[in-house]
Amino acid sequence: MKNAELVRRKDAATPRGVGVMCNFYAERALNSEIWDVEGKRYIDFAAGIAVLNTGHRHPRLVEAVEKQLGRFTHTAYQIVPYASYIELAEKINRRAPGRSAKKTAFFTTGAEAVENAIKIARAATGRPGVIAFSGGFHGRTMMGMALTGKVAPYKIGFGPFPGEVYHAPYPCALHGVSTDDSLKALQHLFKADIDPKRVAAIIFEPVQGEGGFNVAPTDFVRALRAVCDEHGILLIADEVQTGFGRTGKLFAMEHYDVAPDLTTMAKSLAGGMPLSAVCGRAEVMDAPAPGGLGGTYAGNPLAVASALAVLDVLESEKLIDRGAELGQRLMTRLESLRPRVPQIAEVRGVGAMVAVEFRQADGSPDPDFTRTVQNRALEKGLLLLSCGVYGNVIRFLFPLTIQDAVMNEGLDILAEALTR
């Protein structure tokens, strides 16, 4: 089988709307490496878009899924329940930020988690409005697109979107937006667009994923909590990309001294199996009536088994600490290259959630150089992802289990791609 033949078949059989970055096809993968159908090896600094914090085919996850496969694969939890769903909910309730009693419901995708968080918030408050932020990404469903603060490619041609969704600028010093600017814009929304007493929730990413790995300043998060408390608004932390060790904590909100009312999670929750969740204050989570939450595949037993193994692996292999160390190693390497790469405007991130932003000499975004670096790295067998509203940021999402030798090899390829 050849990659070129698969590309031809893909173009004939699947729609162009499903964008595909690579022109090769995976045959097998292990930990931080992928081999294509022609036998070429790639170092994976993408991890299925932050899904594989525990790496490809971690043996503990494989064992857990195989064991569950031998028992049953599906009953629909809301028809015939199973104990593992409850066990996972209990573990997440104990670990999620916030001291209040919590409850967790499981779904399948990150977008589903976001949709259900909005449903829960509206049910709990009796209010319709939702506020999100520019540069945020919350999924490809209609509500997810409405919340997302990036037009291309996510919103083009798909409107109209659900109403009562408003956006404020997300703080980012490099982009000239301070915490003060964001909060003033939020207050302007309350004056010009929606009464805060009609707002059910404010949703934000503690570190924006698709928006460019912009890290929420501490004073901004504290202020959001204060605004929500003042007006009876629920604060939703979208931790779909930041969760499960990526930022040097189990959840990114642990870096702050305030807690959200609801947390959405997915991606690395189940290490490659489709599973998402909403965890929140018990009284808020109980607002929807029985039958208001769920889904045919929500909390699939194979995915739940994998998620339980993920939590064990993160703890037993100390992957959260390792992620923080690997992230620092990457940032140090990138900073050392700045004198040779004038396009580097900023290296930023927290833990192993690191990005580098490129700009031209006049200060404008440089998506062309970003694509050039990606392509050079891919030629040498290193997978990199771009992000940012202008497509001028490269984000790094290597597995936290990556071997030291492979990490060093990847960093060497990255340095060559940046300086060639």
**366 and 295: one domain?**
no
DSSP type of residue 273: B
Domain count, the chain: 2
d(CA 155, CA 164): 17
- Do residue 73 and residue 16 come from a single domain? no
The pLDDT tens digits for 58-77 are 999 999 999 999 999 999 99
Which pLDDT does position 217 carry in this prediction? 98
Query: Please, which pLDDT band fits residue 282 given cuts at 50, 70 and 90?
Result: very high
Domain boundary among 316, 349, 376: 316
Q: What is the pLDDT of residues 91-112, one digit of tens each?
A: 999 999 999 999 999 999 999 9
**Residue 40 and residue 167 share a domain:** no
CA neighbor of 187 nearest in space, from 217, 207, 166: 166
pLDDT at 246 over 90: yes
Same-domain status, 338 and 357: yes
Q: What is the pLDDT of residues 195-221, one digit of tens each?
A: 999 999 999 999 999 999 999 999 999
Are residues 376 and 287 both part of a single domain?
A: no
Banded pLDDT at 361 (limits 50, 70, 90): very high
**Domain co-membership, 99 together with 189:** yes
Alpha-carbon span 133 to 151, nearest angstrom: 13
Whether 232 has a pLDDT exceeding 90, the answer reads yes
Summarize pLDDT for 154-200 with one digit per residue, the tens: 999 998 999 999 999 999 999 999 999 999 999 999 999 999 999 99
Same domain, 131 and 261: yes
291 DSSP 8-state letter: T
Closest C-alpha among 271, 279, 333, 348 to residue 307: 271
Does residue 152 register a pLDDT over 90?
Answer: no
Q: Share the mean pLDDT of the chain.
A: 97
Same domain, yes or no: 97 and 204: yes
Looking at residue 370, which CATH number applies to its domain? 3.90.1150.10
- pLDDT at site 1: 87
Euclidean distance between CA atoms 367 and 369, whole angstroms: 6
Q: State mean pLDDT over 330-347.
A: 97
Structure tokens at 326: 């690997």
Considering the domain architecture, whether residues 300 and 284 belong to the same structural domain is answered as yes
Cβ neighbors of 279 (< 8 A, separation 6 or more) are 92, 93, 96, 102, 103, 104, 262, 263, 265, 285
Q: What pLDDT is stored for residue 420 in this prediction?
A: 84
Shared domain check, 367 and 308: no
Separation CA 333–CA 361 (nearest Å) = 22
Question: Is 337 in the same domain as 269?
Answer: no
Domain with residue 77: its CATH number is 3.40.640.10
Verify that 119 and 221 share a domain, yes or no: yes
**316, 349, 382 - which closes a domain:** 316
pLDDT (average), residues 302-312: 98
Domain that holds residue 46: 3-57+318-419
